[in-house]
């Protein structure tokens, strides 16, 4: 059994400990993700039992955040499968998320104080990021700083915390690895936002361009808005949170191409990735370089 399988086993055992079948049944319907946070922890701290157990906690917390996120967004799918809220209803999805959060915190209390504080603080910020996302979705957002703050809290903060805790276990500089984790998380989210536009629905497991329809003004749309003339700005804003027809989708995609928005965003990702790698270059960790490269080059 490899380390990722051990993480799944520990997570399932945590769920089984409740001895309540409905929780176990719903939990088994959750699609296993890429485990980016776990891979990061293991590549920094090694495949120790303590690192593996920390991974299981982080994955429980991450899964809980996605359950709540799907309820807030009203998402019917998650990773190409029916979401828990779609299959079992929003109430069950929220409560399952609460179960995972609380179990994660309980197991976290068994760790060193630094790790417990770092992860707990990250989860608090993660919740703030979710609130930011909801509020930004009320209207078209043209403020890059607000977007960056939101994606840091909603996505990057738990990846940053994972890297810092792994560095702590390994006896490395936690601040340097925190910089790596923070920038990995930010780059990860920007790539996600790009894929929502550039990939088809079959690859994504959800409709393409769904972010804009769902009220998310991601970086490509902010850059496009700033590049358009007054009329173009008005048109783009009129499409916000709208079910777009083929002509409207063509207009957006043609403007992305005209102003080379995807290329601009890709360069931004490269700058962020470079900052991440420079922060830990003294450790010569080829695995972390590969994690960053795989994250940038992914298709979903």
pLDDT at 202: 62
Q: What is the mean pLDDT of residues 90-117?
A: 97
Confidence of residue 203 (pLDDT cuts 50, 70, 90): low
- DSSP bridge pairs for 78: 81
Angstrom distance (rounded) from CA 59 to CA 24: 16
Angstrom distance (rounded) from CA 291 to CA 300: 15
Cβ density class 54-64: b for 16+ within 10 Å, e for less: bbbbbbbbbbb
pLDDT at 207: 66
Ordered domains of the chain (ranges, CATH): 1-111 (1.10.600.10), 147-299 (1.10.600.10)
Cβ count near 90 (within 10 Å): 17
Both tokens assigned to 31: 């699609």
If you search the block for the tokens 């970086």, which residue do you land on?
219
Higher pLDDT, 69 or 200: 69
pLDDT at 77: 86
pTM, rounded to two decimals: 0.94
Angstrom distance (rounded) from CA 196 to CA 140: 17
- DSSP bridge pairs for 81: 78
Confidence of residue 201 (pLDDT cuts 50, 70, 90): low
The overall average pLDDT reported for the chain is: 94
Confidence of residue 79 (pLDDT cuts 50, 70, 90): confident
Using an 8 Å Cβ cutoff, are 183 and 288 in contact? Answer: no
pLDDT at 287: 97
Both tokens assigned to 50: 């303590």
Using an 8 Å Cβ cutoff, are 228 and 236 in contact? Answer: yes
Determine the Cα angle at 35 with ends 29 and 40, to 5°: 165
Angstrom distance (rounded) from CA 145 to CA 274: 20
Determine the Cα angle at 75 with ends 80 and 40, to 5°: 60
DSSP string over 191-219? HHHHHHHHS-HHHHTS-TTHHHHTT---H
Using an 8 Å Cβ cutoff, are 161 and 200 in contact? Answer: no
What are the start-end ranges of the H helices in the chain? 3-16, 21-28, 36-45, 49-73, 84-88, 90-108, 113-136, 144-151, 157-170, 174-198, 201-204, 210-213, 219-227, 230-238, 246-258, 261-279, 286-297
Angstrom distance (rounded) from CA 106 to CA 159: 20
């Amino acid at each position: 059994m490899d380390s990722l399988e051990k993480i799944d086993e520990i997570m399932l055992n945590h769920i089984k400990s409740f001895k309540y079948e409905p929780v176990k049944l719903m939990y088994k319907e959750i699609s296993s993700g890429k485990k980016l946070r776990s891979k990061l922890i293991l590549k920094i701290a090694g495949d120790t039992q303590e690192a593996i157990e920390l991974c299981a906690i982080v994955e429980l917390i991450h899964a809980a955040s996605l359950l709540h996120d799907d309820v807030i967004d009203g998402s019917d799918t998650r990773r190409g499968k029916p979401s828990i809220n779609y299959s079992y209803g929003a109430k069950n999805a929220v409560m399952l998320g609460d179960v995972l959060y609380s179990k994660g915190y309980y197991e976290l209390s068994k760790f060193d104080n630094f790790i417990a504080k770092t992860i707990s603080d990250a989860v608090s910020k993660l919740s703030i990021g979710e609130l930011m996302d909801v509020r930004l979705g009320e209207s078209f957002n043209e403020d890059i700083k607000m977007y960056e703050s939101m994606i840091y809290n909603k996505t990057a903060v738990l990846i940053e915390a994972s890297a810092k805790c792994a560095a702590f276990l390994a006896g490395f500089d936690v601040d340097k690895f925190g910089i790596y984790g923070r920038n990995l998380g930010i780059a990860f989210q920007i790539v996600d936002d790009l894929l929502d536009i550039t990939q088809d629905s079959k690859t994504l497991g959800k409709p393409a361009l769904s972010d804009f329809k769902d009220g998310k003004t991601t970086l490509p749309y902010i850059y496009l808005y700033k590049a358009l003339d007054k009329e173009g700005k008005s048109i783009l804003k009129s499409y916000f949170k709208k079910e777009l027809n083929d002509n409207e989708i063509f207009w957006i995609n043609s403007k992305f191409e005209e102003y080379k928005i995807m290329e601009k965003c890709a360069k931004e990702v490269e700058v962020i990735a470079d900052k991440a790698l420079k922060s830990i270059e003294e450790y010569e960790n080829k695995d972390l370089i590969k994690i960053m490269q795989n994250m940038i080059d992914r298709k979903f």
